[in-house]
A = this chain, B = another copy of it.
Amino acid sequence: MTDTFLVADIGGTQIRAAVFPTDQSAPRKIVRTPTQGAGCTPIERLLDLMASIWPSEGAVKAITVAAPGPIDPYQGIVYEAPNIPGWTDFPLKDHIQERFKAPVAVGNDANLAALGEWRFGAGRGFHHLIYITVSTGIGGGIITNDQLLLGAHGLAGELGHITVIPDGPLCGCGQRGHLEAIASGPAIARWVEQELADGVPSILSNQHPLTAREVSLAAQKKDPLAIAALGRAGNYLGVAIADMLHIFNPEVIIIGGGVSRSGPHLMEPLKEAVQEHILSRHYLDGLVLTTAALGDEVGLMGALALAHTLTEA
């Protein structure tokens, strides 16, 4: 009769759900389903997936869910999930609460990833942590004094929307020059395509479609355009990270997401930019700059960390 947490991670393409015993960080069971498909809405798919693994014995002490987009975690409302049709001002918590009898909490996926890395991953043992995830978008989460920073409506940590080039490239949010518009995977690919269109030679010139993954592979083969593209992204990530050092004076910066696996072609220019923009060496004293430890299950582990935080409070 072990008590459990039921956790889920909603992405644009896939929903994952898992059951964890309350005293373990290894899941008893993980299941997955596509977020969209014929017949059922995403919320029906989520609820059915969770019901399919509902534990037959013991109490479910908490249900916690990581979801994309700006979220009010206090009310459990997803303001805007760009890749999930119909999820605008969507009362996610209420839907779950209506179906299941257990305390429910939801959070922004990048915020919860920060909480997950802090409790189970690269941030263990630290009190002041910045997590930044670089993939299709750029998101983040901040731990200060062992607490997840949420802010007035729970919208804190949107590190992808720091302005790094005033009047720079258009961001998915409609504004200009945000970090996400310059250093996310699609932004890296777009910059390479622009350079190719301008006639810059590269082994990527016949690559269609082109993504940051191909750019990363081409950089490993010493393609100068690919190296320049990762260097540019790394540089602006470094500028934003220097900002975060001045603002938070953290002990550790953790970089997650697919783009973070591009290796030294991204990380070395990133570190140089931090050095170039920092006010004082004291911000670098003992600073750990590292990549994420939790991999693809970071969303589930983040939701699990939230469940622990809730039930300990």
Contacts and interface: CB of A to CB of B under 8 A. Distances in A.
A170 B237 CA distance: 21
Contacts of A244: 247
Total copies of this chain within the assembly: 2
A128 interface: yes
B161 A249 contact: no
Interface stretch (A11-19, A31-39, A152-160): A152-160
Interface stretch (A142-150, A213-221, A292-300): A142-150
B161 A163 contact: no
Given A72-B282, A152-B286, 20 more contacts: A70-B280, A79-B280, A79-B282, A128-B151, A142-B247, A144-B149, A152-B249, A154-B249, A155-B246, A157-B247, A159-B246, A159-B247, A161-B277, A162-B246, A163-B164, A164-B166, A175-B278, A175-B279, A176-B277, A177-B277
Interface of A: 70, 72, 79-80, 127-128, 142, 144-145, 147, 149-159, 161-166, 173, 175-178, 236, 239, 242-244, 246-251, 276-280, 282-283, 285-286
